[in-house]
Structure 1
């Protein structure tokens, strides 16, 4: 039976999952903000031991740090290209599981900021954005210090069990200007 391989590297956690018939059959993760490149091959290898018949790859397109996103996106694209299968992206905030009817999902954007989006009945109605937490009321902080801003106590990291519900995103979601600038602009 063919499966969908789900990958997300938009936070300090590298998440990989397998879905068949829109049901999560396996998932695993490794933590480490700079370990995405090392963790992905290990996790995908474990996934392939469960089911090697992958028909599609879906990958988190952010918002998130540039390097982490690029690691996940390039891995997903290379994997799909090598197998001649479809690859598509999704907003990583959309994968944060919460059962509240209205909530704000957020992840650590570093620099004392959060990436966030507002949801009603599980559908994104605003965002994603990047702000300091004080500018966002009711945010669920997901990651280190989870639930610090408290609204949805059952919120989790981007959750591979809901990846099949997500809207497609074609380009990575970088919400900040690059830190690097051409020499002439310095």
Structure 2
């Protein structure tokens, strides 16, 4: 990719690394960890998923440490992203990003903003639920199931977007048996 094809990420990562080099003493000799975005589905402004992969390669080369994905609702989308990244030689941990799927209006708004449609069955279940407690149960169950599938596929962890509804995220965490994925062949994940 040419410099002008990476409008934000690479220059930003490079700037952070430059500041880090100049200010090591102020950072107590530490290193700033830089996370960037990754897209299981094509970025709305990108022509292809191949272009998205090239951009992710450029972000890694610029010094990014990890990537958090855009929201998705199908584990196979995350698995395809992992395959594209592996084929391109990307070594960044690709952390899947989730919004606990408990609010149909929020899911519709996310679909509008990201171009990633929420499953119609899920939206329907949430819309006909008798109350907020049932919507929360349905959404937490869906999110936990999705998280389990991507962890089984090799996700290095999870990122939960809370949108100021931390209770939903805590419910998801409570229902996951995270110890099941905490080590791989004796090594912490």
TM-score > 0.5, shorter chain as reference:
no
Larger Rg: 2
Short-chain TM bin: 0.3 to 0.5
State the TM-score, normalized to the length of structure 2: 0.33
Instruction: Pick 1 or 2: higher relative contact order, CA cutoff 8 A, min separation 6.
Output: 1
- Larger helix fraction of residues: 2
